[in-house]
Each structure stands twice: as C-alpha cells, then as structure tokens.
Amino acid sequence: MKSFRKAGCLGMLLLSLVVVVPALALVSEVDPADPGSTAPVASVGGIPARMMTAYVRAAGMMSTLVPGCRGMAWQVIAGIGKVESDHADGHKIADDGLITPPIIGLRLDGSGKGGNTTPVRDSDGGRWDGDTEFDHAVGPMQFLPATFAGYADRVRPGGGANPNNADDESLATALYLCGDGRDLTDTEQLKKAIYSYNYSSAYVDEVIGWIHQYTSLGSSVPTGDVSDTVKQVINAAASQIGVDYSWGGGNEQGKSYGVCCSKGGQDGSKVLGFDCSGLMLFAFGKVGVHLPRTADQQAGIGQRIPASAGIAALQPGDMVFFGNGSEGIYHVGLYIGGGQMINAPKPGDHVKQAAVWTYDYAGGARVVQ
C-alpha cells in the first residue's frame, strides 16, 4: 500500500475527501436483489469497476462454455484476482480490458527468489514476459504463459488473446476452475479447484476467505446515505490516514505519544500517533461519543453486531472488531462500507484504509447512526 507519511495537514484533508466520499457512495450501489449483476456491485470490496466487469462477464459465460459447471460466480474469480494481484492494483485498465503496464511476476529461474526453487523454462519466446530464457507468471491472475496458451483459443476464438487483458485472463481462470464441469457449489469441489490452481492449503484458505467476504458484501442491504454524524466520524478517522501507529497513542484530542511497551517491544512513548482503539477515541470523540480505552472494552458498548451476521450486517460508522477464542478481542477498525475499514493496523505501520480482514472477524458495535 502507498505511504502517506509525508502528507501534510492539507494533504490529509484532501485525502479524506478523496477516500471517504467514494467509500460511502459505493455502499448504496449494492443491489441486494441481484448480487451477481454487473453495475450494482461495481465498487464492492475495493474492486476496480473494470475488473468487476471482467469477473462478472467471465462467470456468466460458464453456463455456455462449460454447461456442466455449477456455482461459478464472480466472487470466485474475484477471490483469485484479489490474492494474485489485488485486482491489478497499481495498473491501469482500459475500456477494452487491456492492463498497463503489464503485470509480470518474478523470473522463475529456480534461484529461490520469491520461494521459487523450480526453474520454469521459457515457453512463449518472451512474448508475454519479455524473457526468452525463463518464464514469468503474467496477468492479474498470474497464469504461466504456457497455461494461458492452452486457453487462448477458447478465450478468443478469433485470436488475439492476451494474458494482460482483464477479460481474457478472467475467462481463462473461470474455465480452469470449472474444468470439465465441477460443481463449485460443493465446498470440497471448490477447494479442490482452487488447490489445483495453486498447490497450497494456505492459498486455498486465502482465496476462500475473500470469496466469502465478497459473497457477503454482494448480498448486503443498501444503507443509503449515511447521517452527518457518521460522516463526521469517518472523516475524522480518514483525516489521520498516514499517521504512525503508536502503542497506547491517541485520544479524543488526536494523536499522542503512547506508552512503553507492547508485547512485541514497540515503545509507544517514542512515537506520536494512534493505536487501533486510540483512533476510535479520536473519531468518535468528534461527535461527542466518549469511548472506553481498549478494543475489548469498546466491543462491549453500543448495539452489538454479532459476527455470525457477517460483515453484510455492518453499516458505515460501526466499529469492527477482530479476535479469537484464546485472546479475545485484539483489534478494532472503523467500518466505512464496501468491506473497507480505516484502522491503525500494527506497530511500525500507520493509519490506513484496508479491507476488513477475512479471519478473526468478531462482529461490530454501533454507537452512532
């Protein structure tokens, strides 16, 4: 993610307008009646609209291209796209789907870089990866050139398929996952399909987590315009994006020096900033709501949004919590809609906007609306 550490106060103000307003606007775009449709979900989960179009289109074509395939949805392709390239983050996507500059992965020369210890000799004459000796994964779904070549004719029967075209690679991904006609509504078959894409249980967990997240968001109830109070809370948090994380830092007046020391050894007394709950103190303090100091305490007030309801039950302005059975609540962020939150994530980091984590989600608390 980009760093905003050097942004001044004016920069923060401008940033808040840029970040928050779209984040709020996208929530009202979700259509609960048709979560799979193209336009209404165009901004869900921070997915660029053009990538979403590619995902929805590819999923929709499976009923024709692989009639035996069941359960292919845009969320499945989006899960792969999120994990592989964060939906082509940092790249431009033209109206025709072409991604520039092209997404080209590490050189797979077996050197161990990036964990690659098995060399993959060139298969495309350097056409897609610019390397005539070894292959690189290419495109937003990070296909190997040889694999993509096997789908090129089905993706564009007239020729011209390009792995750095969002439509082409999304369609190749859908075709690969559908195989000869998998039933992806069956969780075990879905997991096997993802595992076949990349032989790693951690990878499967990661993709499944995002599929669930997008599925939940795609069926969430539109919240419409948020109140001025909620806007003030979100704008207050957004105005602090880029401020350092400080263990024990932050109060209703703003950033402050924290205390020594976190379990991991951060001396907050030397860092001016916020910890996760300190950021909540500041944001909600702007509207006269005085919160307790720590995340687990903050989880105990207001209207509780149970984790079992999923993140679709959250509304912008809710606090969103993370925890597990052994440690309890250990983190809090401010939900801003569309599966996104503003939070002070960890020592050594800074306040930022991020997707709601796909694990340890512990529900929310609503103290303003």
Partner 1 sequence: MSKHPVFLPALGAAVLLVTGLALLVPGTPTRPTAAAPAATAPAAEEPGPTDTGSAESPSTEPPPTPNTPVAAPAAVSASAPSASTQPTATAMPSGIAAAGDGPEGDAAVQAAFTRDHPSDLPAADAAQLTHLAGEVWTAETTGTGRSRWPGYFPAEQSPAASFYYSNVRIQATAAHTEQDRPDRVQVDLLWVGTTPAGSYGDHRPATVHLTRTASNWEPVR
- In the range 197-216, which residues lie near partner 1 by CB under 8 A? 197-203, 205-206
Binders in 164-183 for partner 1, by CB under 8 A: 176
The one-letter amino acid at 188: E
Q: Give the sign of the dihedral formed by CA 25, CA 339, CA 80, CA 71.
A: negative
**Counting contacts by CB under 8 A, is residue 288 touching partner 1?**
yes
Name which position in 161, 174, 178, 276 contacts partner 1 (CB under 8 A). 276
**Counting contacts by CB under 8 A, is residue 272 touching partner 1?**
no
**Long-range contact set of residues 259-262: C-beta below 8 Å, sequence gap at least 24:** 262/347
Listed in order, strand segments (DSSP E) in 59-141 are: 92-93, 99-100, 104-107, 136-138
**Counting contacts by CB under 8 A, is residue 3 touching partner 1?**
no
**Counting contacts by CB under 8 A, is residue 157 touching partner 1?**
no
Binders in 237-266 for partner 1, by CB under 8 A: 247-249, 251-252, 256-260, 262-266
**Interacting stretch for partner 1, rule CB under 8 A, among 12-20, 36-44, 181-189, 288-296?**
288-296
**Counting contacts by CB under 8 A, is residue 187 touching partner 1?**
no
- Closest to partner 1 by CB, 38 vs 116, is 116
**Interacting stretch for partner 1, rule CB under 8 A, among 26-34, 38-46, 100-108, 334-342?**
100-108
- Closest to partner 1 by CB, 212 vs 304, is 304
**Counting contacts by CB under 8 A, is residue 141 touching partner 1?**
yes
**Buried residues in 73-97 as b, exposed as e (16+ CB within 10 A):** bbbbbbbbbbbbbbbbeebebeeeb
Binders in 296-335 for partner 1, by CB under 8 A: 296-297, 299-308, 321-331
Comparing CA positions, the residue from 299, 283, 289 lying closest to residue 235 is: 283
Alpha helices in the chain (DSSP H): 9-27, 49-65, 74-85, 145-149, 152-155, 166-178, 187-197, 201-218, 228-238, 276-285, 295-298
Q: How far is the CB of 160 from partner 1 (least distance, A)?
A: 21
Comparing CA positions, the residue from 118, 150, 117, 143 lying closest to residue 129 is: 143
Q: Is 180 exposed, middle or buried (0-12, 13-18, 19+ CB in 10 A)?
A: exposed
Q: How many residues form the binding site for partner 1 (CB under 8 A)?
A: 101
Q: Give the sign of the dihedral formed by CA 313, CA 317, CA 318, CA 322.
A: positive
**Interacting stretch for partner 1, rule CB under 8 A, among 5-13, 43-51, 214-222, 341-349?**
341-349
Name which position in 66, 73, 108, 237 contacts partner 1 (CB under 8 A). 108
Q: Which residues are CB-contacts of 75 (< 8 A; sequence separation ≥ 6)?
A: 210, 211, 214, 215, 218
Name which position in 190, 295, 320, 341 contacts partner 1 (CB under 8 A). 295
- Closest to partner 1 by CB, 89 vs 122, is 89
**Counting contacts by CB under 8 A, is residue 33 touching partner 1?**
no
